[in-house]
Structure 1
Amino acid sequence: MIPTSPVVVVTRPLRQASNLQEKLQQQGRTVIVFPLFEIESISNNLELDLAVRNLHQYAVVMFVSPNAIDALFQCVEKKHGKTWQWPEETAAAVVGAASRQSLLLHGVSDTNTRIYCPRNESRTDSETLLAELPLDDLAGKKVLVVRADSGRDFFVDALKKASIEVQTISSYRRVIPFFDKVKQQLLSTFLQSACDWVITSSSVLTTLLAWCEQLDQLELLARGDSQKNICPAVAKMQQQKLYVPHFRIAEVARELGFKQICLTASGDENLILALQSQL
């Protein structure tokens, strides 16, 4: 009997997981989307509206993620329609292949503007993006950072230290979904076998372990057991195999006790290659 490959669990929001799910299914993998966060746009975002109208005033617009890109272009379409064009004099900066692809889907590419992006696909973060920027040339100029309502301040602090005028705008927020009975049953099922987990955000890991702890507590309550230090769901989760496209996510996973971590290069194509090569 030919052994079946592990189920791939994609933890992205449903809308962002569909492309990866489809490509993996085309290669014969069983894929289940199990969102561990949702993206919620910040409504009536007057700061973002104003920035879009004056985008030509910024030397660089830095996006922390594809979600930040989508949020800005949703604002563009709402306020200016589909005829609006990215100003040639304004460069874009992104940290990974997924963000670069998202820019391309919105009509922004190397053919119509300068795009800064880390050249080393195995390490894509604020530090490596910063190394690509002409900081001396940007001194005294304006840079816009479009991001979530929370996150690291390394990039912003480094730009300010280089005498660059920085404006930050929160364009979206991550929302943790309710851990209802359907999700409880799904997670319990995943833990009964070895799955391949696609983790593209370090915050997902803490949510995942918190949900496992809730499963353990529910099990103890169902059994009437008072032993609070029993955590089989957490232990089983830490034995699952993770596929992560960023070294910082891998670091967080190790700190949280995960044992099997496959670090891939940035972008869905590299995630797919890694998942298929490990079969």
Structure 2
Amino acid sequence: MTVSLAGKGILVTRPREQAAPLLERLQAAAARPLLFPSIEIAPPEDTARLHDVIDRLAQFDWAIFISPSAVDMAWPVIESRLGHWPAAVKIAAVGPGTARALQRHGIEQVRLPEQGADSEALLALGEFQQPAGRRVVIFRGEGGREHLAETLRARGARVEYAECYRRRPPRADPAPILAAWRRGEIAAVSVTSAEGVRNLATLLGTAGRALLRATPMFVPHARIAEAARALGVQQVQVTASGDEGLLMSLNEWFAHEQPRA
């Protein structure tokens, strides 16, 4: 039986623009979510390259979207420059959250990994096992892992990036969050990227890092867990992908933590 999260303070560190669905689900579960973004999403400083790739979008066979931010930041540019998505260009998404972001923009046909939600899972799909001669554009933020593009190129695809946003640490006052933490009002932390873990530690400062290390952290990938453990976080739980996976892990954790009758 699902255990209620009633009264549990959950620190949500997603970018502000992406946090609403999770906040709503936590509130519906009677939890007490506290939003403290550890990443801010901003447009690229130089958009010329992005505009060039989007102007040639119809030339590609596949477009891969790495994250919901990639969708939300690219779509206004696509609509302003093209008016609509080129019908012949197939779309793939790394995970279900990215697919939902595409659906919000009217895109229903999205190829998703059959298991998992990362580049490795996407590369396991049949369409990307032998992509020789195919032209692939990857919508992503500036920087990031090169594994997807490198593997596709090694398999014979022609790959370009459409870097449609950049990530930066927010300017935020941690004092209210630290005060709530010291009052025992934060029982768990949710972080969705390794960069977000590192930014969070920086934002919290020396005193806050002690609280962070002692609080269970829930992350959707082993690479993020490694970043958390490298910073000394003592209890890191790797969840299944998406909000559903996070909520399931939170419920399991607090069921285990609750004293038995």
The TM-score bracket by the shorter chain reads: 0.7 to 0.9
Indicate whether 1:150 and 2:178 are aligned.
no
- Rounded Cα–Cα distance in structure 2 between residues aligned with 1:238 and 1:133: 41
Task: Report the CA distance between 1:143 and its aligned residue.
Answer: 0.6
Identity fraction in percent: 31
The letter of the residue matching 1:7 is G
Which residue in 2 is equivalent to 1:52? 54
Do the aligned partners of residues 18 and 67 (structure 1) sit closer, same or farther apart at CA in structure 2, a change above 3 Å counting? same
C-alpha separation between the residues in 1 aligned to 2:127 and 2:17?
35
1:209 aligned residue = 201
Contact 1:144 1:169 in 2 (8 A): yes
SS of the residue 1:265 aligns to: coil
State the TM-score, normalized to the length of structure 2: 0.86
- RMSD of aligned alpha carbons: 2.2
SS at match of 1:166: strand
Specify whether residues 133 and 167 from structure 1 end up closer, same or farther in structure 2 by C-alpha distance, changes over 3 A only. farther
The one-letter code matched in structure 2 to 1:167 is E
Partner of 2:98: 99
For 1:78 and 1:128, how far apart are their aligned partners in 2?
32
Match status 1:274 vs 2:249: yes
Deviations 1:25-75 (A, max 9, x none): 122111111111110012662333333333221111111111111122111
TM-score by length of 1: 0.81
Going from structure 1 to structure 2, the CA distance change for 1:54 and 1:133 (only over 3 Å counts) comes to farther
Which amino acid in 2 is paired with 1:243? Answer: F
The one of 173, 181, 189 equivalent to 1:197 is 189
Q: Distance in 2 between matches of 1:5 and 1:251?
A: 29
Q: Which of structure 1's runs of 4+ aligned residues deviate more than 4 A?
A: none
Partner of 1:184: 175
Match of 2:219 among 238, 244, 254: 244
> Tell me, which stretches of 5 or more residues in structure 2 are unaligned?
255-261
Q: SS state of the match for residue 138, structure 1?
A: coil
- SS in structure 1 of the partner of residue 19 of structure 2: helix
Query: Equivalent residue for 2:240?
Result: 265
Unmatched runs of 5 consecutive residues or more in structure 1: 217-232
Of 114, 118, 127, 1:125 maps to 118
Shift of 1:23: 1.7
- State how far apart, in whole Å, the 1-side matches of 2:82 and 2:137 are: 19
Shift of 1:136: 5.8
Asked if 1 retains the 8 angstrom alpha-carbon contact of 2:239 and 2:249, the reply is yes
- Counterpart of 1:140? 133
Q: 2:146 matched to 1:171?
A: no
Counterpart Cα distance in 1 of 2:38 and 2:161: 26
